[in-house]
Amino acid sequence: MQLKPSLIINLTTLFVLMFAQLLLADQKHPNVLLICVDDLRPELGCFGVDYINSPHIDELASSGTVFHRHYVQAPTCGASRFTLLTGRYGGAGNGSLFSRAVQIGKNPKSVPLSMPAWFRKHGYTTVSVGKVSHHPGGLGGDRWNDPEIPEMPKSWSRHLLPAGVWQDPRGWMHGLAHGEIRDDTRTKSGGISMDVLQAVEGGDEIYPDGVSVNEALRQMDQLASDAESPFFLAVGILRPHLPFGAPAKYLQPYESSTLPAIPHPNKPDGKTTWHRSGEFMKYNRWNRNPNDDLNFANDVRKHYAACVSYADAQVGRLIERLKKTGAADNTIIILWGDHGWHLGEHSIWGKHSLFEESLRSPLIICVPGSKQKPATNSIVETLDLFPTLCDLTGIETPKTTQGVSLVPMLLNPNRKGRPAISYFRKAKTIRTQTHRLILHDDGFVELYDHRTPEKETANIAATEPELVAQLQRKLKSRLVGAEPGK
C-alpha cells in the first residue's frame, strides 16, 4: 500500500513531536543555550581536522549531532545572523536587522517576530551577551551604544555587551590586548594602523571575549536560579574574527607545527565572486602579502588557529558553568558558526564570496537525554534552526519561518537534506550534494562539480545546460517573495 503524501507529512510531524517529547521526558520547556562563533571555519577535531586544538567543542560534539554540511544564507555577519534570528531569508548586508527594525517602527504588525521575541512570547527569559546580532550589544549609533537605535526591538529581555577597557561596543568589536582599539582613520596607503596579528601574554580577559564571557557566566547563574521560567541564552564569541589576536598561550602549540598545503590557492579565472580580501588587507601587514609570501601565509593561519583555540576555551567555560548550575540536564545547546572564512583558498583571505569556504560553517546540536548520533553529511541551512528549536522545546513553530525542522535528522543522520540557498551582493547560489551553481544578477552562471578534484575551480556551466536550467529553477522557486540581496 502506498501512503498519500499528506499522510506521510502528518506522520512525519507526529514522529517529530513524539521524538521531542521522548528526548525531553516530562520537562516541557527546556532551556536553550545558543553559542554563536564569528568567522569559524568547519575545521575542528570533531569535523575531522587533527591540526586544530578544539577539545571543548569536540567534547560538546561527543554528546550531540555534528552537521558536516551546514551552509549559511550569506557570507557576512549581519545578513547571516538575520536569518539565524528570524528564520527567514533577508537582505545581504550587515545592516539587515537594522532595516528590519526601521520597518517595525513604521508598521510592527507587518514584521514577523524574531526567534528571541517568539520564545519570549512563550514564557522564556531571553538574554543576549556579546555579538549575537551584528552589533555587539544590539545598538546603533556611531559607537554602537545608542539605546534609541535598537537592532532587534522587543526581542531580548536583556541585550548586553560589557565593553570593558575597550570603552564601547565598537571598540570591543575590533579590540586587541589591553584595550587597544582600532583606529579607522586611514593611513597614507589607505589602510589602518592596527596589526592584523597579535599574541600577548596574559589571561583570557586581556582580549574582548574573556570579558564578555564573564558576563555570560553571570547571566547563566541568574537565569538558572529562576525556577519560574525557562531561559534562552545566546552568547556571541567574537574570535576568530579579525584582527587575529589571542593570548599567547593559545598560539604556542602551533608555533612549530606544520600546516597542510592550502588547496586551490590561485586566483580563479573568469568571472566569479572573487574579491581582493579588502577587510584583511587594510590592517597593518608589515608590507607582506600572504598570497605571495608562504611564511606569512602560515603565520596568518597559525594565528587564526590560535584564535579558534581561544574561542574553544570560551565554549568550555560556558559548558562547565552550565553543568555547575545544574541546568545542563534540561538545556538544548546549539553551537553555530555565522559563516566560513578563506585562508588562502582561491587567493582570498576573508569571507564575502559565494565559494564553499565562505558559506560552510560548523553546526552542532546537543539535546539533553539523547545519545550521540553519527555526524550527518546531509545538507542543512541556518534557516532551519528556528523551526528546529521550536520542535525541540515543544512550542508552536510560527508559519512565517522559511526553513525546515532538523529533528528528523537528529533521529536519523542519514535522512536526506535539501539544497542550500545563499546570496551576497549581485549573485545567488544553490548547493546540492554534488554541485554548486552561482547565478549572477546579469545572468552569468558558474557551475561546479564537487565530485571532481577541481571542485570550485572549473566552471562547467557551458557543458551542462540542462543541469544549469534545472538548478536555476530550483534556486528561483525557493526565493520567490524572499528578495534576498535587497
User: Letter for the amino acid at 13?
Assistant: T
Q: What are phi and psi of 314, to 5 degrees?
A: -70, -40
The domains of the chain, with CATH numbers, are 5-418 (3.40.720.10)
134 is catalytic: yes
Grouped pLDDT means (10 residues each) for the chain, 486 residues: 44 50 60 98 96 97 96 98 97 96 96 98 98 98 97 97 97 97 72 94 98 98 94 98 98 96 97 97 96 98 98 98 97 98 98 98 95 90 98 97 97 95 97 98 98 98 98 94 50
Size of the chain, expressed as the number of residues it contains: 486
Q: Which of 36, 77, 307, 390 is catalytic?
A: 77
| Concatenated DSSP letters of 42-94 | S-SGGGT-SSS--HHHHHHHTTSEEBTTEE-S-SSHHHHHHHHHHSS---SST
DSSP 331: E
The answer to whether 307 touches 244, Cβ cutoff 8 Å, is: yes
Contacts of 331 (CB under 8 A, 6+ apart): 30, 31, 32, 33, 322, 368
Rounded distance, CA 98 to CA 240, Å?
Answer: 24
Give pLDDT, residue 191: 79
**Gyration radius from the chain CA atoms:** 22
The answer to whether 361 touches 72, Cβ cutoff 8 Å, is: yes
Helix, strand and coil in the chain, % to nearest 5: 35, 20, 45
25 in helix, strand or coil?
coil
Per-residue pLDDT tens digits for 335-384? 999 999 999 999 999 999 999 999 999 999 999 988 777 899 999 999 99
Q: Which of 56, 134, 174, 339 is catalytic?
A: 134
Rounded distance, CA 42 to CA 341, Å?
Answer: 9
Give pLDDT, residue 373: 79
For residue 341, what is its C-alpha cell?
572564512
Rounded distance, CA 293 to CA 298, Å?
Answer: 9
- Number of H helices and E strands in the chain, helices first, is 14, 19
Rounded distance, CA 386 to CA 405, Å?
Answer: 8
Give pLDDT, residue 10: 46
77 is catalytic: yes
